[in-house]
Amino acid sequence: MLVPRPHLCDVLKGAQQRLQLLCAPAGYGKTALLREYLRGEGVWLNLGGQGQTLASLTARLAEALDLAADSAPDALLAFLDSGGGVTGPASSRASRIVAPPLPQGDAFPCGSEPARDGARTGNTDLKLVFDDLPAQMPADLNLWFDQLLSLQNPRLQILVTCRQRPDWNLPQLMLTGNLLEVDARQLAFRPDEFESLISRLAPDTDTTCREQLWHATSGWCAGVHLLPASLLGPYLERELLSRLSDEQRQVLYGLAHLSKANADLCEQLWEGQQGARVFASLLACQAFLLPIDHQPGWFRLLPAVAQALQGHLSGAPLNRLRLRACQLLSVCGHVDDAVEQALCADQPEVAANYMERLWLSWILSERHLDRFMDWRERIEPQLLHSSSRLIYLCAKALVFSGRLDEAQACLQRLGHFLPLPDPRRQQRLLANWQALYGTLHGIRGNPELARLHCHAALGYLTAQDWLSVLLCHCTLARIAMKNGELNEAQVLLEHSLELARRRGSREAEVLVNIDRVRLMVLQGQSGTAQSLLRSELAQLTGSRTQPYPLLGRLMFLQGELLLQQGLVQQAERVLQAGLLQVRDGCAPFVLDAYLLLSEIASRGQDSEKAHLLLGEAERRMHWGQIDRACYQARIEAQKSRNQARDLGDGSNIAVDARVATVPDYQDGLTPREVSVLKLLAEGMSVREVGHRLFISVNTVKTHAKNINVKLGACRRTQAINSAKAMGILA
């Protein structure tokens, strides 16, 4: 199935380099891209990854150029260097195309085939294509390629697809500007291309499944085709594992269970087996090891590949590997990965011990908040309450997650550790306790208590407690902004920004700047606010390949500012893109996107969509166990605005009358019951519906029973048919 790649074709068309090298693992569409780009031009040799000798390859090339099959390799070079056969469109030499058969490794997506034997090109340039170059070639053949690449003919261009960088003088080509290299990161599908392919392959795939598939494949074309069909295992056996040695397979099976790896880690994990050398060889042979964003030297196995290979290692050997990796990762400073390995090895005590070593600021970055909350579900409460530091870390994560009652209960447990024998430590513990209490009261809308606790904490917090200081300043700044005390808010936020920069916390700086953008808008400095927001977005976007909730939060703010300017369509696009960055996260700020999208739908006179978006917002808040103080009043306020807009009257009386007299759906079905019914009509099981809507199986069954009663049906099929007849389902 062809997915056009015009942006990559443009890269190839605009390149003047002698060698264009497409080097990536199997299934990244290298051959398909060249087919789309060349459109029947060039001399094409399909090598199929099979071993070649100098004699066999040059004989095939000579035949393709209409030369004698026994032409000497040096004579062939001289012919190509002289421009023989490429002086004009009338030439009969060097214009013949050898059409490749469909390749095995790069059959996804298939493109238009080059012209068959005898087809002519009107281009005076000669493009030689060596498709699926073998990984290993004899020295004399490599030397011949070096000579080919150093020819003086300016009209000669070499295009190569391979799974391993060839042993040629590539550094020299790079220095002279004669090398264009396209790797897996560039060949991977972009989100729009991925959506285009999924819409053709499986148009009924829901949003959740699409996101899971995108995360697992990271734009790997073959994975998009094969993973849903459970065919990935046999494909990897044929295209990857069969090409590896026993020691390479052993290391790869271990890497499938690790979140990251580098050469040093492998050297210590596989002592006596030259783990670093084997790891380097896996990188060289394109074994789906991808570099990790902003962590130079560290790699991870493509999730879909890791999932397919995990069954090859299990039991005691796997647990030994995990515990050893746990120790080594913690020494390298990757404490969060050590915690994950300990939990996977069923060692919660070890995991809790490593959690104590996490920096409090760690929660702010990447998807760490979601990760930490997942750990809380997997570790016994008594272990999480075993130290004051763990309790404080859990309380901070709960506050950031909007689970305020749980956070308060967690903070109360700190009393079990008082009094401490060291007065200074006790003073710091109490000050951090008050800082978090102040933040908690600020979120709940208790400004006086928030101010009281924050000011008390600031009197005793030390330089080591910089994050608590920052939280106090930001809480006080938000209260000041709400009260119209803009100068005080500005001073507090400037102090916070200085503190975040001094500590080198990029994430804390972004969070402070979000508040600064809002303050600038209140001060009438919209242009400055937009400039700061654009700068933060540009810095955070960079080359990230994984979802990043903090980026999503910035995009929600950008959508809000665009909506204020009346740029409705742009705002909606930005908000939807921001939700992709958050994915299944449950932090309270996700509410911002749904409220804004509901506002957009309401302005567009789509009251049903506006209503459903608010229902989805409330569902996300329930699923995340977020305190009602974080969302209920805001959702109700948006409902009132939407209803007033429907009536063309902003009065509360009109809104109340509307709510009292008009049911939301026909025959008394609630919005949630309609959502359940629609998913059941799509053929989902009760469990799948529960997963999609983040509700329990029993809740789904209760909704289904109520639907049957309201529609007078005995079975699911009767309910669906009745709903279609009534117009409830399209």
Position 144 scores a pLDDT of 97
Residues 104 and 227 occupy one common structural domain: no
The kind and range of the H/E element at 21 are: strand 19-23
| Domain presence at residue 39 | yes
Residues 343 and 266 occupy one common structural domain: yes
Alpha-helix residue ranges (DSSP H) falling in 523-668: 526-541, 549-564, 568-582, 590-603, 607-623, 632-647, 652-661
| Domain presence at residue 485 | no
User: Pick from 401, 417, 433: which residue ends a domain?
Assistant: 417
Residues 139 and 173 occupy one common structural domain: yes
Position 656 scores a pLDDT of 37
User: Pick from 360, 383, 417: which residue ends a domain?
Assistant: 417
| Domain presence at residue 608 | no
Alpha-carbon torsion (694, 699, 705, 710), positive or negative: negative
Instruction: Tell me the helix, strand and coil percentages in the chain, rounded to 5.
Output: 65, 5, 30
Query: What's the CATH code of the domain at 145?
Result: 3.40.50
Residues 158 and 216 occupy one common structural domain: no
Alpha-carbon torsion (607, 609, 610, 612), positive or negative: positive
Residues 101 and 243 occupy one common structural domain: no
- Please list the residues that pair with 291 across neighbouring strands: 299
Domain holding 686, by residue range, is: 667-726
| Domain presence at residue 557 | no
Residues 182 and 206 occupy one common structural domain: no
Please count the structural domains in the chain.
3
Residues 174 and 248 occupy one common structural domain: no
- Local structure of 405: helix, strand or coil: helix
Provide the residue type at 439 as one letter.
T
Position 644 scores a pLDDT of 87
| Domain presence at residue 650 | no
662-712 pLDDT, tens per residue?
A: 233 334 677 778 888 888 888 888 888 887 777 778 788 888 887 887 776
Residues 295 and 410 occupy one common structural domain: yes
Position 468 scores a pLDDT of 94
516 Cβ partners below 8 Å, 6+ apart? 493, 497, 532
Structure tokens at 691: 């997963």
Residues 173 and 199 occupy one common structural domain: no
| Domain presence at residue 235 | yes
Structure tokens at 79: 């012919």
428 Cβ partners below 8 Å, 6+ apart? 460, 461, 462, 464, 465
Nearest to 31 by CA among 94, 123, 105: 105
| Domain presence at residue 474 | no
The kind and range of the H/E element at 672 are: helix 671-681
Rounded CA gap, 233 and 229, in Å? 10
Query: What's the CATH code of the domain at 716?
Result: 1.10.10.10
Phi and psi at 717, nearest 5°, equal -65, -35
Residues 274 and 129 occupy one common structural domain: no
CA angle 201, 205, 211 (to 5 degrees): 105
Residues 202 and 316 occupy one common structural domain: yes
Q: pLDDT below 50 — which residues of the chain?
A: 85-123, 649-667
Rounded CA gap, 727 and 368, in Å? 44
Alpha-carbon torsion (347, 348, 353, 356), positive or negative: positive
622-652 pLDDT, tens per residue?
A: 988 899 989 999 999 999 999 988 886 444 4
- Output the DSSP codes for 144-193: HHHHHHT---TTEEEEEEESS--SS-HHHHHHTT-EEEE-HHHHSPPHHH
Helix axes 486-502, 506-522, angle to 10 degrees: 160
User: Pick from 417, 436, 463: which residue ends a domain?
Assistant: 417
Is the CB of residue 17 less than 8 Å from the CB of residue 170?
Answer: no
| Domain presence at residue 403 | yes
Residues 242 and 146 occupy one common structural domain: no
Rounded CA gap, 344 and 288, in Å? 23
Position 102 scores a pLDDT of 37
**How crowded is residue 293: how many other Cβ atoms within 10 Å of its Cβ?**
13
